[in-house]
Amino acid sequence: MTREVFTRLVRKELPSLRRFLLAACSGNKDEADDVAQEALMKAYMASSHFEDEAGFSPWLYRIACNSLTDHQRKQTSHGIAIDINKVHEVADDSRSNDSFAYQELYCAIEGLNVSERTAVLLFYMEDRPIKEVAAIMNIAEGTVKAYLSRGREHLRTKLSK
């Protein structure tokens, strides 16, 4: 894949990829941007071996999901964790109306395990078909359906409180 083709395909996917990562990072824009940058760098480095333009989107999302998992694993191993209680302190910021409009949902999504969160965000937020979610996550379609079912139930429980 040439640099020009890669750039064109990334420009097409970037808004939805950033939206996905922002939700996966519980609204933390800086963290989402870090993961996106890491994923795009990895994708660019591997792009010379990738020729399937039609399969670019799932391929890029798989790299992003793996980068997100690596990023979260690094944070956990370094003892870095997001304190959800700090959200209320930051909400007093003048940008709070825009930045925290969906914070309750982000907090509920944060409570899902990584597999449920990824499946829910890809399926519901990014409108990816189950078959594509399964390809991105490298799991069976039935497993995606199970993650979606459990994720919906967990979200329903958390948001009804």
Which tens digit of pLDDT belongs to each residue from 1-19?
888 999 999 999 999 999 8
The whole-number average pLDDT for the span 132-158 is: 92
Element (H, E) at 27: none
Torsion sign over Cα 138, 143, 147, 152: positive
Q: Using 50, 70 and 90 to split pLDDT, how confident is the model at 145?
A: very high
Residue whose entry in the numeric block shows the structure tokens 């939700």: 23
DSSP-assigned letter for residue 51: -
The whole-number average pLDDT for the span 77-97 is: 44
Residue ranges of alpha helices (H) inside 28-160 are 29-46, 56-77, 86-90, 96-99, 103-110, 114-120, 130-137, 141-160
